[in-house]
Amino acid sequence: MTPVPSAAANQVAFSFVDGTDIGPGEEHMRSVVFTFTDADHHQEAWTSSGSPTAAVFKYARKKQGAGGPGR
């Protein structure tokens, strides 16, 4: 993967360049865009060579209680 221009200032995008041990026609990840919504949330949109639709994963930072980890 190599960095490519992204659509917005809160995004980081990467695109597939080449790989080893990938045969002709074998499915692989083509690109990913990381979008940072705020300090506690981001999402990843992964695009595969086998699908025109991106798989989107949404992440949220887990808030810790007043006692800290494990309390």
What integer pLDDT is reported at residue 30 of this predicted model? 93
Using an 8 Å Cβ cutoff, are 26 and 40 in contact? no
Residue 65 has pLDDT above 70, yes or no: yes
pLDDT at 23: 86
Cβ atoms of residues 46 and 29 within 8 Å: yes
| pLDDT reading at 5 higher than 60 | yes
pLDDT tens digits, 17-56: 988 888 888 999 999 999 999 999 999 999 999 998 999 9
DSSP strands (E only) in the chain = 2-4, 11-15, 29-38, 41-48, 55-60
Q: Residue 1: which of 34, 37, 26 has the closest Cα?
A: 34
For residue 58, what pLDDT is reported? 98
Residue spans per domain, the chain = 2-19+27-60
